[in-house]
Structure 1
């Protein structure tokens, strides 16, 4: 590879089955990348587009070398399908035996000696005369690896190259790849970080067809955050149960959580929110968006009871009609609330574990002795967050993003019927934003809590939140 490869604002269509969207990515000389992400995120698509797969709809790729080696399940399936088509020859009363392995390898390589050595190392010497399509899946995978390596590519693209390999073969392949890093740039698709070779220099994280993050592997802090993100995205751990000893009072299941009827927020002659009708039912996750001054915070304050005009409007919250004698604490016990201002207020020096436990008492800091079950639930939340090893670390020594994750867990320990996340990504960098969004997604998937996610941008969506209310600035 003689020059950097650049993907500039690239959008690609893969037969209408998948789209890559607005990809900006530069692969410099002497860099070796791993592409990672959740299942269906677009890892294989991003790797394949470098090999010429897909229809470019927008943008451009520049700097691609001509000699590219690609090993992937899709390319493997395509090769096997071509071989099976040779069975059609039986209409001419000819029995097709298919292409033998030696032809598949030696007719498609530049370095015959290297191919012979790899055949021996991969244990395929006794299979050279067998038809390619008669091989097992693992054996055809080995053939494709040998073909790609022996062709001395200027760029080597390996999609899950270690899947299905035994321990000895995996070690051999890792050693061979390490021996060619000075001459062959590599891009790998991997699901498992523990299989990442030492020579990898950079990691690309893709989500929903978009390249969300790129990280230098040598940046330990960024690398650990990405590891934590993948943990949140892929872990089988579910949202921990509530403490049965601290159950909230039962609500009337026939009533919506929130109902605003023709609600108006007005200061003098200035109308901020005009005759808003909005109903939030149980299990109906919502995104509330709008520009500054559109009334988002005011609407939240009406729901929580912190706005004086909640009594001059027709508002029902958890079955209570505002202004009919209920206390503000009767309402707030059913709400979990996270905002940037709460994070500013939470400045006490307490451990990460105690921050979560404080959610049982709606306190900032711990002033009550916690129970064994509360400690257990806090440990489960720390495990979900990938922060078990930081249980005793001081909260105020954590990164801004990790603090936000813990405050969301704190808001959730009681499993409130309504969790309000007011601009939860405000002030966060791309990595920490992804971490927070991943946790919100996990909560939407696995609890009885209804999520109200408040932000500026309607397009900043979270999987599982399917309802949207957009407010407009009236003045």
Structure 2
């Protein structure tokens, strides 16, 4: 690629089903890109834009080379749709066999001889006379690859090129692409970082139709964070179960977790808020937002029992009427809590496994011998977080973002009916913020815990949280 391809403030529609928004991306000489992200994030759409797909409704694309070849399920579907249309147009007394592999090559490839040579390389030589619709999934992928490569593209786009290939062919394609990378720039869409070819120089992460992280493959720290984010977004691991040997007392599912009636917090003549009515039902997820001084922290402390005015308000929590003789620990056993202040307090030198285990005992540090089951559950949480190999590392040596992830796991390990996350993204860079939000999404999707997510920005939404309270 002798020139730079630029996507500038680009917004693209795809049949009104999906939209890429505010895309800024630059592909320069010597780069080979991997595009990744969770299912439905828009990574295939982003790659397809380089091949001319989509309707541009804002921004611009410049510098596209003359010949762009793309291999994708969508391109394959278009080929099949054309064949079906041709079937409909033909009036024959016999059933048409369909277009053969060799006919596809002759019709679509700039260099038919190269296509035939590549067909032998990829094990398609004996299938040239077969109708392409009768090929297996793996054979079809190989045919699409040969078709793209035989056009001698100035830019090659491969969307999940290794899907459907056996182990031997996977290795063979990796080797061929590595050789080809010396002369042809590539953009490869992959779900999994562990399939990333050695020659890839840069990685783009797509989320919800937007291009988020763009990192150098050589940036080890950024690469590790992106690997962890993809793991949280795409792993099939479930949120680990609670400890069956030490369960939290069962609550009445017909009763709300929290019910505040005409709640008020004021200091002298200064009213923080008043007349607040709020109910949190089991399995509801809430986002609480508001500017500094609006009373978010005070409202939380009414729920947890840490505010002196909780006894002057009409508050019902976890089956208790506040001020009816309940202890603060009877309330707090039903709550998991994470805040920046907790992270400041958690300064003890303890392994990250024991940080998670300490959640069973609501302690900072671990001072009780845990059970084998608790240790197993902690290890399951570390696996979910992509931290299994670091289980024995000291907590205080981790990055700020990794510490926050572990404190959320610590709060969740006992499966409290209510998980309060007070500004969990405060102090985090964008990548670590995405990691934390991904974990919260997993918790919302996979447990019976109600999540109360507190932040400044009501527009900073989390999938799974559908109720909002703004102070």
> How many Å apart are 1:91 and its aligned residue?
3.2
CA distance in 2, matches of 1:350, 1:88: 70
Aligned residue number for residue 330 of structure 1 = 330
Q: Given that residues 32 and 201 in structure 1 are in contact (C-alpha distance below 8 angstroms), is that contact kept between their aligned partners in structure 2?
A: yes
CA distance in 2, matches of 1:370, 1:134: 59
Q: Deviations over 1:438-467 (max 9, x none)?
A: 111111122221110111111211111111
Report the 3-state secondary structure (helix = DSSP H, G, I; strand = E; otherwise coil) of the residue aligned with 2:119.
Answer: helix
CA distance in 1, matches of 2:76, 2:433: 37
Alignment pair present for 1:443 and 2:439: no
Report the 3-state secondary structure (helix = DSSP H, G, I; strand = E; otherwise coil) of the residue aligned with 2:375.
Answer: helix
CA distance in 2, matches of 1:251, 1:88: 63
Report the 3-state secondary structure (helix = DSSP H, G, I; strand = E; otherwise coil) of the residue aligned with 2:245.
Answer: helix
Aligned residue number for residue 342 of structure 1 = 342
> After the TM superposition, which residues 396-475 of structure 1 pair with which residues of structure 2 at under 5 Å, given as runs?
396-471=396-471
Farther-moved stretch of structure 1 (446-455 vs 263-272)? 263-272
Q: Deviations over 1:72-121 (max 9, x none)?
A: 00110111110121112333768755433223213433344432320211
Aligned residue number for residue 267 of structure 2 = 267
Aligned residue number for residue 152 of structure 1 = 152
Aligned residue number for residue 217 of structure 2 = 217
Q: Deviations over 1:271-305 (max 9, x none)?
A: 22131111000000111111222211111111111
Task: State the 4+ residue runs in structure 1 displaced beyond 6 angstroms.
Answer: 92-95
CA distance in 2, matches of 1:124, 1:360: 58
> How many Å apart are 1:244 and its aligned residue?
2.7
CA distance in 1, matches of 2:133, 2:257: 60
Aligned residue number for residue 237 of structure 1 = 237
Aligned residue number for residue 106 of structure 1 = 106
Q: Deviations over 1:159-214 (max 9, x none)?
A: 01111123332222222211121321111111233322100111111122122222
TM-score w.r.t. the length of structure 1 is: 0.94
Q: Given that residues 5 and 26 in structure 2 are in contact (C-alpha distance below 8 angstroms), is that contact kept between their aligned partners in structure 1?
A: yes
> After the TM superposition, which residues 26-65 of structure 1 pair with which residues of structure 2 at under 5 Å, given as runs?
26-65=26-65
Structure 1 gap segments, 5+ residues each: none
CA distance in 2, matches of 1:185, 1:291: 48
TM-score w.r.t. the length of structure 2 is: 0.95
> After the TM superposition, which residues 58-97 of structure 1 pair with which residues of structure 2 at under 5 Å, given as runs?
58-91=58-91, 97=97
Q: Deviations over 1:413-439 (max 9, x none)?
A: 111111000011111112211111111
Farther-moved stretch of structure 1 (325-334 vs 94-103)? 94-103
Structure 2 gap segments, 5+ residues each: none
Aligned residue number for residue 367 of structure 2 = 367
Q: Given that residues 153 and 184 in structure 2 are in contact (C-alpha distance below 8 angstroms), is that contact kept between their aligned partners in structure 1?
A: yes
Q: Deviations over 1:21-51 (max 9, x none)?
A: 2222222221111111121121211111111
Report the 3-state secondary structure (helix = DSSP H, G, I; strand = E; otherwise coil) of the residue aligned with 1:224.
Answer: helix
CA distance in 2, matches of 1:55, 1:14: 6
Alignment pair present for 1:191 and 2:191: yes
> After the TM superposition, which residues 281-292 of structure 1 pair with which residues of structure 2 at under 5 Å, given as runs?
281-292=281-292
- Provide the alpha-carbon RMSD of the alignment: 1.8
CA distance in 2, matches of 1:365, 1:126: 66
Report the 3-state secondary structure (helix = DSSP H, G, I; strand = E; otherwise coil) of the residue aligned with 2:25.
Answer: strand
Report the 3-state secondary structure (helix = DSSP H, G, I; strand = E; otherwise coil) of the residue aligned with 1:199.
Answer: coil
CA distance in 1, matches of 2:99, 2:245: 69
Q: Deviations over 1:115-160 (max 9, x none)?
A: 2320211222233334333433433322221121121111111001
CA distance in 2, matches of 1:73, 1:250: 49
CA distance in 1, matches of 2:418, 2:355: 20
> How many Å apart are 1:470 and its aligned residue?
1.4
> After the TM superposition, which residues 367-406 of structure 1 pair with which residues of structure 2 at under 5 Å, given as runs?
367-406=367-406
Q: Given that residues 105 and 112 in structure 2 are in contact (C-alpha distance below 8 angstroms), is that contact kept between their aligned partners in structure 1?
A: no
Q: Given that residues 89 and 95 in structure 1 are in contact (C-alpha distance below 8 angstroms), is that contact kept between their aligned partners in structure 2?
A: no
Structure 1 residues 59 and 291, CA, compared in 2 at 3 Å: closer, same or farther? Answer: farther
CA distance in 2, matches of 1:250, 1:350: 31
CA distance in 1, matches of 2:75, 2:250: 56
Farther-moved stretch of structure 1 (452-461 vs 8-17)? 8-17
The number of residues matched between the two structures is: 471
